[in-house]
Structure 1
Amino acid sequence: MARDEQSGSTLPRRQLGRALREARQAVGFTLEQAAQEMEMSKTSVIRIEKGHNEKVRLRDVEGFGQLYELTEKRIEELKALAQQSATKSWWQASRHLLLPGYRTYLGLESAAAQLFSYQQAIIPGLLQIAQYSRAIERPLFPSDTPEDLESRVAVRLRRKILLTRKRRALPAEFVLHEAVLHTVVGSHEVMAAQLRHIADIGTYPGVTVHILPFEAGFPGEVVPVLPYVILDFPAESAEPSIVFCEQPIGAMFFEEDADVKRYRGIHEALRCATLDAQRSRDLLRQMARRYEQ
């Protein structure tokens, strides 16, 4: 299921919208009835329930809560979500430079409790060093000013704190096809530094990097797939897991159970055919030495 582009942090808006929709349905109100009681249009109620409004007024949350006979405690919880959804995310200063769908992904990534990623051509953004990021971004946006380029790179680099922060670091598993190691981006010098960086970050608690060797072929009869990221969210958020697939013409998000299950099966088949973490680090460092020669 493809998502429309949304700015800011999307997760609180989605949680708030889902909670209000479930509360409305629990008391048997139709959209039309809720809109009439709240003195707003049906379209406005739909937008709130789908999490499309960047800001939901606290008085409206209070009104919905009373209309749906929610407890004061629950209403306060929903108000807290409304306040979170209005908070500007750290990448907002560079939002005009980000591709459609990418801002939505950043909001979801920052709220995730676990991440699984597969890449077959380039290093995932969370693992990139600055030189590699510049070499990737420059040909994609040839009209960028030097300042714009550095802003794009800064967004990529700042994401890495999710993996390395001391408190609540994001558990992440990366499967990289061996082709990624042989695809020269920037220069041999850049590749050597990049591969050593991946080997080092793979030693962080919660971060696992596996290399899928050429000799693995199509493991589990899994045909080549587009790069993807599977995101799981904290249990208390009641948010469904999603799959993010980025393409040159846009991004796709899938959250249907069957779709997510399919991608989990693909990821498991790929991971089972990879080198273990230590052998993967050894190969990364071996390739780095080769680039340095």
Structure 2
Amino acid sequence: MQDTGSTLPRRQLGRYLMDWRTRAGLSQPQAAELLGIGSSSLYRLEHGQNGKVNLSHVEAACELYDVPEVHVAAFVGLAKQANVLSWWHEFGDLIPETFDVYMGLEAAAQRFISYHVELVPGILQTADYTRALVREGHPEESPAEHERRVQMRQYRQMIVTRKRRPVTVDVVLQESLLRRIIGNAKVTGVQLKRLADVSTRPNVTVHILPHDAGIPGGHGTGQFTILEFGTSRPGKPSEPPVVYVPAYTGDMYLEKPKDVHRYHQVYKAFQDASLDAVDSRGLLRQVAKEFLT
């Protein structure tokens, strides 16, 4: 069968199922036997290699691994999305709005390339910066729910600071972002100082695109992130890269090579027009000091 659908939902579904199987303490052969399917079939399911996902296998695996109902609905939704050429996290009744598809992709990535206009990327935010955004964005929630969101974002940052194979981070930030007060001046100043400090890590590079750079390459664009997943052998990616474009009414995930290439091109234009890493760090410390004094 020719595979014409998106591989992204299948790969993401496979990652989640493998994670829940591991939590259940089952090896792949053990789980396959209990599910009544071949070990090779379960392998293909967990690695997103099926041309069409068998929904009954997904549902049976969720039952075997004792997956919570809200996640079962999300996993089934991912399975149904597997034959869609381009897909958005609007999803309607397919995937619950509360299920964060992006987080799973980010956790699996080996390289994080991102451009930001308004806000510091989540994996580099301080707890107080995140807390200010959460309170503003979810005023109807309780303080306990706010803290859960803050803790979840802080947990995500482990991919940057872990000792074994930390993710490579390469970000370009618009200079105007540095002047935007989030929470209050102190919260913003501490956040900028944190950015400067973390940019000294060998796996993190931060560039500031100054006001006078105009629109490099002539293409204006909002925030986007390119996620890369490493290579299985020289020159061959283990999984195709994904471009994530967040939006207020529904996030977009792009995986067609020509789309990914275009975002790489515009990112390079922004990067080439930015201050170098040392000058960017100096500017971050300078503006942080202005807010903190």
TM-score (norm 2): 0.70
Task: Report SS of the residue matched to 2:280.
Answer: helix
Shift of 1:139: 1.5
Shift of 1:274: 0.6
Pair 1:12-2:15 in alignment: yes
Partner residue of 1:239? 239
Which of residues 223, 229, 235 in structure 2 aligns to 1:227?
A: 223
Task: Report SS of the residue matched to 1:117.
Answer: strand
Residue-pair matches, total? 233
Shift of 1:61: 8.2
Moved more, 130-139 or 230-239: 230-239
Pair 1:120-2:108 in alignment: no
Partner residue of 1:106? 103
Partner residue of 1:251? 251
Tell me if the contact between 2:32 and 2:39 (Cα under 8 Å) persists in the aligned partners.
no
Partner residue of 1:63? 38
**CA offsets per residue over residues 100-132 of structure 1, 9 Å max, x none?**
386111111111111100100111101100111
Unpaired stretches in structure 1, ≥5 consecutive residues: 16-56, 66-74
Query: Which letter does structure 2 place at the counterpart of 1:132?
Result: Y
Distance 1:13 1:194 in 2: 32
Query: Which letter does structure 2 place at the counterpart of 1:112?
Result: A
Task: Report SS of the residue matched to 1:249.
Answer: coil
Distance 1:275 1:76 in 2: 48
Distance 2:147 2:44 in 1: 38
Task: Report SS of the residue matched to 1:250.
Answer: coil
Partner residue of 2:183? 186
Partner residue of 1:26? none
Distance 1:202 1:102 in 2: 31
**CA offsets per residue over residues 219-272 of structure 1, 9 Å max, x none?**
12122x120000011222732110001111121100011110110001000000
Partner residue of 2:263? 263
Query: Which letter does structure 2 place at the counterpart of 1:222?
Result: H
Query: Which letter does structure 2 place at the counterpart of 1:288?
Result: A
Q: Once superposed, what is the RMSD of the aligned Cα atoms? A: 3.4
Tell me if the contact between 2:170 and 2:205 (Cα under 8 Å) persists in the aligned partners.
yes
Distance 1:261 1:282 in 2: 31
Task: Report SS of the residue matched to 1:268.
Answer: helix
Distance 1:79 1:139 in 2: 40
**Whose helix fraction is larger, Structure 1's or Structure 2's?**
1
Distance 1:143 1:197 in 2: 29
Task: Report SS of the residue matched to 1:247.
Answer: coil
Tell me if the contact between 1:110 and 1:162 (Cα under 8 Å) persists in the aligned partners.
yes
Task: Report SS of the residue matched to 1:200.
Answer: helix
Shift of 1:12: 2.6
Shift of 1:80: 6.8
Tell me if the contact between 2:32 and 2:42 (Cα under 8 Å) persists in the aligned partners.
no
Cα 1:101–1:238 change in 2 (3 A) is farther
Tell me if the contact between 2:129 and 2:182 (Cα under 8 Å) persists in the aligned partners.
yes
Unpaired stretches in structure 2, ≥5 consecutive residues: 19-30, 49-60, 75-95
The runs of at least 4 aligned residues of structure 1 exceeding 3 Å deviation read: 8-11, 59-65, 75-82, 85-89, 99-102
Cα 1:144–1:77 change in 2 (3 A) is same
Distance 1:63 1:216 in 2: 57
Pair 1:172-2:169 in alignment: yes
Tell me if the contact between 1:172 and 1:208 (Cα under 8 Å) persists in the aligned partners.
yes
Partner residue of 1:217? 214
Distance 1:221 1:11 in 2: 39
**CA offsets per residue over residues 135-188 of structure 1, 9 Å max, x none?**
111111111100000000111111111111111000010110001101110101
TM-score (norm 1): 0.70
Distance 1:220 1:142 in 2: 39
Pair 1:202-2:199 in alignment: yes
Distance 2:263 2:146 in 1: 33
Task: Report SS of the residue matched to 2:181.
Answer: coil
Task: Report SS of the residue matched to 1:205.
Answer: coil
Query: Which letter does structure 1 place at the counterpart of 2:143?
Result: P
Distance 2:239 2:16 in 1: 11
